[in-house]
């Protein structure tokens, strides 16, 4: 099995839809650190699992300096953002989304 990992930092805003009172229901932003893990049992015709540039563009072009509420169709928690990225990057099997120091959510395909 081959593995590649790409770490990306984006700046993006979101507001959460919660069933309890929280300051996170107001629009706010983070400097998110996103780690994308891809794997493949065989390399593609270019000798890669997934091109690092394609991973970067999938994340940066759609999320950097964006309102995440306008991009994904679910409540834009770090957990849901991790799944959305995993679903949109070829060969991705795990995504770690750090929204602030000490707060990281992960999504992994088993």
The CATH number given to whatever domain includes residue 67 is 3.30.479.10
- Residues 58-93: tens digit of each pLDDT: 999 999 999 999 999 999 999 999 999 999 999 999
d(CA 1, CA 53): 21
Phi-psi region of 102 (alpha: psi -120 to 50; beta: other; left: phi over 0): left
The per-residue b/e assignment along 30-47, b for 16 or more CB within 10 angstroms, e otherwise, is: bebbbbbbbbbeeeeeee
Domain housing 87? 2-108
Domain count, the chain: 1
State the pTM of this model.
0.94
Grade residue 22 by pLDDT with cuts at 50, 70 and 90.
very high
The mean pLDDT of 30-41, rounded to a whole number, is 98
């Amino acid at each position: 099995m081959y593995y590649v990992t790409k770490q990306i930092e984006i700046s993006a805003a979101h507001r959460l839809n919660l069933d309890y009172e929280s300051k996170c229901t107001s629009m706010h932003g983070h400097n998110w650190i996103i780690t994308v893990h891809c794997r493949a049992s065989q390399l593609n015709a270019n000798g890669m699992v997934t091109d690092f540039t394609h991973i970067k563009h999938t994340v940066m072009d759609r999320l950097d300096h964006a309102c995440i509420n306008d991009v994904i169709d679910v409540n834009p928690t770090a957990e849901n953002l991790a799944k959305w990225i995993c679903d949109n990057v070829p060969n991705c099997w795990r995504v770690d989304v750090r929204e602030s120091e000490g707060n990281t959510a992960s999504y992994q395909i088993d």
